[in-house]
């Protein structure tokens, strides 16, 4: 069964993607890692490296095998030290 997912981009990703958020139709049972792959295909210029991308799922840092459900709040970002 398909579900609609809204992914919010923060900071650098927002700047590079040119959008605040994106909506995707994905199959039920999608994991965080799988969602990341789908986004990497949609936005090939975004540096969506798995080890450097933070995936905030309902306010918590998600593990790659965590399942995404309809209505979940998702935020993606990358971090770097500032001065």
Partner 1 sequence: MNGYCGKMLFVDLSTGRHEVQPLEEDLAGQFIGGYGIGAKVLFERMEPGSDPLGPDNIMGFTTGPLTGTGALLSGRYTLVCKSPVTGGWNDANSGGYFGPELKKAGFDAIFIQGASKTPVYLWIHDGEVEIKDAGAIWGKDVIETEEILKSALGEKSLRAAVIGPAGEKLSLMAAVINDGHRAAGRGGCGAVMGAKKLKAVVVRGTQEVPVADPEKLKAVNQEIVDTIKNGPAARIAAAFSTFGTTMMTGASALSGDSPVKNWGGVGIVDYSEEAATRFEGAAMDPRYRVKKYSCAHCPIGCGAIYEVNDGKWPVGETGRPEYETSAAFGCLMLNEDLEALIKCNHICNIYGLDTISAGATVAWAIECYENGILSKADTGGIDLGWGNAEAIVQTTQEMADQSTEFGKTLALGSAGAAQKLGKGAEYLITVKGIELPMHDPRLGPGFTRTYAMDPTPARHVKGGLGLQHMQISDPSKYDPEGKGQADLEATAAQEIINTAGLCLFKNFTGVQNIARKLIPPVTGWHFDAEEERNAGLRIFHMRHAFNLREGMKPGDFPLPKRSVGEPPQTEGPLKGVTVDYKGFNQNFFKAIGWEETTGRPSRSSLEQLGGMEYVIDTLGL
Q: State the residues that interact with partner 1 by CB under 8 A.
A: 10-12, 14-16, 45, 47, 51-56, 59-61, 63, 75, 77-83
Nearest to 71 by CA among 83, 58, 61: 58
Euclidean distance between the first and the last CA atom of the chain, given in angstroms as a whole number = 47
Which is nearer to partner 1, 34 or 75 (by Cβ)?
75
Which is nearer to partner 1, 67 or 79 (by Cβ)?
79
Give least dist CB 14 to partner 1, A.
7
Give least dist CB 67 to partner 1, A.
17
Sheet holding 60-61, edge to edge: 21-27, 2-9, 74-77, 54-57, 60-61
């Amino acid at each position: 069964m398909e579900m609609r997912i809204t992914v919010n981009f923060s900071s650098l990703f927002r700047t590079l993607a040119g959008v605040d958020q994106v909506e995707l139709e994905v199959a039920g049972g999608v994991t965080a890692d799988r969602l990341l792959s789908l986004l990497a295909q949609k936005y090939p210029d975004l540096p969506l490296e798995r080890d450097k991308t933070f995936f905030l799922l309902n306010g918590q840092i998600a593990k790659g095998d965590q399942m995404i459900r309809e209505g979940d709040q998702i935020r993606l970002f990358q971090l770097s030290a500032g001065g």
